[in-house]
Amino acid sequence: MFSIDQIYIDGAFVTPHGEERFELFNPTTENVIGTVRLADADDARRAIAAAKRALPAWSRTTLAERAALLRRMHAAMAAREDELFAAVVQEYGAPVAFARWTSRYAAQVFLDAIDAMEAHDFKRQLGTARVVMQPVGVVGMITPWNSNAGFIGSKLSMALAAGCTAVIKPSEMSALQTRIVTEALHEANAPAGVFNIVTGRGEVVGAAIVESPDVRKISFTGSTAVGKGILRAASNDVKRVTLELGGKSPTIILDDADFATAVPMAIQAGFMNSGQACIAGTRILVPRARLAEFEALAQAVVETTVAGDPANADTSVGPMVSRKQWERVQGYIRKGIDEGARLLAGGEGRPDGYTRGWLVRPTLFTGVRNDMTIAREEIFGPVLSIIAYDDEDEAIAIANDTSYGLSAYVATTSAERGARVAARIDAGRVMVNTLTHEPKAPFGGFKQSGIGREYGVFGLEAYLEPKTIIGL
């Protein structure tokens, strides 16, 4: 049992003014593994004041000074990779392959931010005007539990590169990861107040950050429902917002696809991070002429997908983060059956051999219509839907018939067809025959998947305001 009792304000670990204790669980065993003392609105205000005091000096640092700090932060985070890996597995049950990727990525983003900063024109001459990019100010950052360390790193590194200071409100369910990240970043010796980390409840600490007139921008990653509330609250003083929200991403299998690679890719796109990924490809669109062939192969892949203890190397689907999320996913599986979809693999309950733990059976439905609940709502678990289509136009229409627009996947043996379909899909990122990430390219959503972009030069610009100076 561990007990996390401190938050980080103005360059120091301090005891929160808030007194609430929040229990942390191991989702594989359902056992309580520790507690965290939560910050309150008072703590949020102290953190914001510290970030505000640190802003004038940090915003005037040279790019070389910023790069030096980001390099130290990278080194400190990289040194904690193994510790972070263990925390991610224990705290939310990430399977080892994803846990390794995300704990490495949480360090790598600091180098990516240096690249973006060095590639950016902070001063441009446009006609008679000099246009300078000015840091937006104090930034409030709010992260979800499903890649908490990675999002703290990607948001903070870009904000610092832009010359902003930050108040970070990590997910209250990620306190172990947050402790490791905070200790690492502290070792990097940033000027006091440049970043502050206050773990607390969203509706308390998150809301205090969003409401503060001293915070000029919010960068939020989380659910669409909470994101809409943040957008409304941010309108009070016209704060800048970047919102990275939910998804219901399509995987379009074109009729020329090589099923030997397309089927495993489609299932992997759906089950990444145990299905608890905003970019998961949860609607698999399959040409009707090849439906039976696809169903048989996909059923075999899902039936052999190992769900269970994430510490085992062959597990690719670990537990859901909480009992509430487990019950929610079970509800969706029931709903799919009730609405007439046909189960090809999985179903309600736990995987064989488990009587405890928030484990879900990897589930694949077919005969799904795009107007069914399981095709419309983000389930955030390992539950995939096969939807048949007749021709390419219909595939694109179904792919775009969603309130989301975060990612899309296309499987084809023709690069030309891949490009043609990608051009017609309304999503922030389209991946043709691949699941690899490109940190230099923008990431974010169309429609209700968000506003704005993160990563690379686009992500850097999200923390900058252009200022036009004429007459010099």
Residue nearest to ligand NAD (CB): 202
Mark the segment that binds ligand NAD (CB under 6 A) among 46-54, 114-122, 200-208, 303-311.
200-208
Residue 380 binds ligand NAD, judged by CB under 6 A: yes
Q: Retrieve residue 207's tokens.
A: 């809301």
Residue 221 binds ligand NAD, judged by CB under 6 A: yes
Instruction: Work out the number of other CB atoms within 10 angstroms of the CB of residue 73.
Output: 27
Residue 245 binds ligand NAD, judged by CB under 6 A: yes
Residue 202 binds ligand NAD, judged by CB under 6 A: yes
By CB under 6 A, the count of residues binding ligand NAD is 30
Indicate the residue among 210 and 431 with the shorter CB distance to ligand NAD: 210
Measured in degrees and rounded to the nearest 5, phi and psi for residue 214 equal -80, -10
Residue 105 binds ligand NAD, judged by CB under 6 A: no
Q: Retrieve residue 97's tokens.
A: 């392959």
Written as one letter, the residue type at 276 is: Q
Residue 44 binds ligand NAD, judged by CB under 6 A: no
Residue 36 binds ligand NAD, judged by CB under 6 A: no
Contact 216, 139 (CB under 8 A): yes
Residue with tokens 């002429």: 289
**Dihedral Cα 145, 149, 151, 156, nearest 10 deg:** 140
**DSSP reduced 3-state for 223:** coil
Q: What positions carry a catalytic annotation?
A: 244, 278
Mark the segment that binds ligand NAD (CB under 6 A) among 78-86, 143-151, 183-191, 248-256.
143-151
Residue 270 binds ligand NAD, judged by CB under 6 A: no
Written as one letter, the residue type at 333 is: I
Contact 461, 119 (CB under 8 A): no
Site string for ligand NAD, 283-322 (x = CB under 6 A): ----------------------------------------
Name residue 251's beta-bridge partners: 284, 409
Residue 378 binds ligand NAD, judged by CB under 6 A: yes
CB-based contacts of 247: which residues, under 8 Å, 6+ apart? 278, 279, 280, 378, 404, 405, 406, 407, 445, 449
Closest distance between ligand NAD and the C-beta of residue 445, in Å? 6
Closest CA to 193 of 332, 321, 49: 49
Mark the segment that binds ligand NAD (CB under 6 A) among 3-11, 47-55, 202-210, 394-402.
202-210
The only residue of 27, 135, 137, 222 in contact with ligand NAD, by rule CB under 6 A: 222
Residue 103 binds ligand NAD, judged by CB under 6 A: no
Question: From the centroid of its chain, how far is CA 45?
Answer: 26
- CA–CA separation, 141 and 404 (whole Å): 22
Question: From the centroid of its chain, how far is CA 383?
Answer: 19
The only residue of 153, 336, 450, 452 in contact with ligand NAD, by rule CB under 6 A: 450
Contacting residues toward ligand NAD, per CB under 6 A: 142-147, 169, 171-172, 202-203, 206-207, 210, 221-223, 226, 229-230, 244-247, 278, 378, 380, 406, 445, 450
